[in-house]
Amino acid sequence: MSNSDLEAPAGVDYAETRQHEVRKTHMAMIDGNLTSNTQSSAGGVSARVFDKGYWGFASVPAMDKASAGKVARKAADNAAAMHRFGDRPTLDLPLDAHVGEHGYNARTPRSQKENIELLEELNGICTTKYPSLKSASFILAEEAHAKHFATSNGGRGLNCINRAAFYIILTAEDQNGQPIELMQPMSAKGNLANLDLSLGALEPQLEELYQHLQAKRVAVAPRGGEQTIVLSPELAGMLAHEAMGHPCEADLVLGGAVTGNLVGKPVASELITMVDFAHSYKGEELMIPVYADDEGTEATDAVLIENGIMKDFMTSRETAAKLGIKSTGNARAYAFNDEPLVRMRNTGILPGTSKLADMIAGVENGYYLMKTGNGQADSTTEFMFGITLAYEIKNGKLGSAITDTTVSGKAIDMLKTVDAVSDDMYWECNGYCGKKQPMVVSMGGPALRAKVHMGGQ
């Protein structure tokens, strides 16, 4: 189906049509056993209509002109059916429209043979070089989204998102015979060929992960309560995404997130500037480049915090209209049958001028937090993320590894305690953000030194 076949339904206040195809590869090897060897493709067409204050949406898993017409009519019918709930006041959606195609020239994909040989080689290395390991797992994953869109206000185009991820998971036994685990993710824009999966690149990572696991075998329990910590750059992105990213999504602001009352007020140390980038940072295209969102709005950067002061929110057409602010192009849908929601794109805390080594050296008694498993956000800006690798800092030097723990705090309090920001910048795009639908996002940041609440005895 060509782009011109995507005709948004007429006679309504606003409408959009999207043809969306997702292709994925997933391979997993556990201790030499290929437990997942899957490729999938899912595609279809959807339409969404806004008319007299209500939305209607419809989708089918087909990509022909007749199906596009069918979902357009169904979406309009659905919007009309909503009037059983009574009349709603008119809402003037911002109606700027992006026209443009933003494809992606992916590298030649790695072959199935190359991928299986890699997994077997890595498993062999673990078996021979690290015989004390209880288990070694490796996961290869890539996904490619191609979205053609047309809107009733003249928007028309193509957006492509391609990302690849590779995971190493090592399991050992601690000194008490209990299993302990560490995971190393790698991610890139594009497909798996965009990752350096050569043995020359991966063997040092295996060795480093193995050494951390050995340190974890004799890990000590952390002290519970407020602690001084240095967050590695890998974790600062998670902090940006979870702690302040979600509470700055306009739908959550409308739902009562505390950030709604904080625009123009200090919410962080003046060392902190945080941005949800649309597609580029310092002239380089980022991992999840969004030039126009799934409502056809041209995507622009949303500066959430500037030098410690709360500034903007991330919006869709509807949330921008309700808040009376500009639409930033953050309305994104994960699959063809999903409606666009306010989602992050590439959210990061900008680097500062400190050196990571100096930041650690400046801590008398605290922790260096290096790896996380997951994180969660809240409308209060209270966040948590699980810590799977961390070390004590004593008198400015790294000490023993600590057992798995969780850190938490209110971002609008915690970020005010930041007294050093490193000059690093680390981006990653593995995993999914969850909010009704999954979503591929990237997150980035430098190392931060701050105080947080740490779980423990």
Q: Decide if residue 40 touches other proteins (CB under 8 A).
A: yes
Q: Which residues contact 294 (CB under 8 A, 6 or more apart)?
A: 16, 18, 147, 149, 159, 331, 332, 333, 340
Per CB under 8 A, the list member of 315, 346, 354, 405 interacting with other proteins is: 405
Per CB under 8 A, the list member of 66, 225, 280, 397 interacting with other proteins is: 225
| Cβ-based nearer residue to other proteins, 50 or 368 | 50
The rounded distance, in Å, linking the Cα atoms of 429 and 435 is 17
Q: Which helix (H) or strand (E) holds 414?
A: helix 411-414
The rounded distance, in Å, linking the Cα atoms of 397 and 222 is 16
Q: Decide if residue 255 touches other proteins (CB under 8 A).
A: yes
Give min distance, CB of 268 to other proteins, in A. Answer: 18
Candidate ranges 4-12, 28-36, 203-211, 415-423; the one touching other proteins (CB under 8 A)? 28-36
Residues between 256 and 275 that touch other proteins (CB under 8 A): 256-258, 261
Q: Is-contact 44 63, C-beta < 8 A?
A: yes
| Cβ-based nearer residue to other proteins, 211 or 374 | 374
Mask for 366-385, x = binds other proteins (CB under 8 A): ------xxxxx-xxx-x-xx
| Cβ-based nearer residue to other proteins, 78 or 151 | 78
| Cβ-based nearer residue to other proteins, 41 or 105 | 41
Q: Decide if residue 251 touches other proteins (CB under 8 A).
A: yes
Q: Decide if residue 74 touches other proteins (CB under 8 A).
A: yes
| Cβ-based nearer residue to other proteins, 106 or 116 | 116
Mask for 271-310, x = binds other proteins (CB under 8 A): ----------------------------------------
Give min distance, CB of 318 to other proteins, in A. Answer: 8
- β-strand partners of 426: 445
C-alpha distances in angstroms, 284 versus 278, 290, 368? 12, 13, 30
| Cβ-based nearer residue to other proteins, 210 or 291 | 210
> Which of 83-107 are b and which e, b meaning 16 or more Cβ less than 10 Å from the residue's Cβ?
eeeeeeeeeebbbbbbeeebebebe
Per CB under 8 A, the list member of 408, 417, 419, 425 interacting with other proteins is: 408
- β-strand partners of 370: none
The rounded distance, in Å, linking the Cα atoms of 261 and 249 is 14
Measured from the Cβ of residue 272, the count of other Cβ atoms closer than 10 Å reads: 27
| Cβ-based nearer residue to other proteins, 81 or 199 | 81
Give min distance, CB of 364 to other proteins, in A. Answer: 21
Q: Is-contact 39 25, C-beta < 8 A?
A: yes
Give min distance, CB of 164 to other proteins, in A. Answer: 18
| Cβ-based nearer residue to other proteins, 26 or 394 | 26
Q: Decide if residue 90 touches other proteins (CB under 8 A).
A: no
Q: Which residues contact 92 (CB under 8 A, 6 or more apart)?
A: 321
Instruction: Please name the amino acid found at residue 150.
Output: A
Q: Decide if residue 124 touches other proteins (CB under 8 A).
A: no
Residues between 308 and 337 that touch other proteins (CB under 8 A): 337
Q: Count H helices, E strands: the chain? A: 8, 26
The rounded distance, in Å, linking the Cα atoms of 231 and 371 is 9
Residues between 155 and 194 that touch other proteins (CB under 8 A): 171, 174, 178-181
Per CB under 8 A, the list member of 404, 431, 433, 444 interacting with other proteins is: 404
Q: Decide if residue 234 touches other proteins (CB under 8 A).
A: no
Phi, psi of 391 (to 5 degrees): -125, 150
Q: Is-contact 80 51, C-beta < 8 A?
A: yes
| Cβ-based nearer residue to other proteins, 79 or 350 | 79
Q: How many residues form the binding site for other proteins (CB under 8 A)? A: 84
The rounded distance, in Å, linking the Cα atoms of 334 and 145 is 9
Candidate ranges 273-281, 350-358, 417-425, 447-455; the one touching other proteins (CB under 8 A)? 447-455
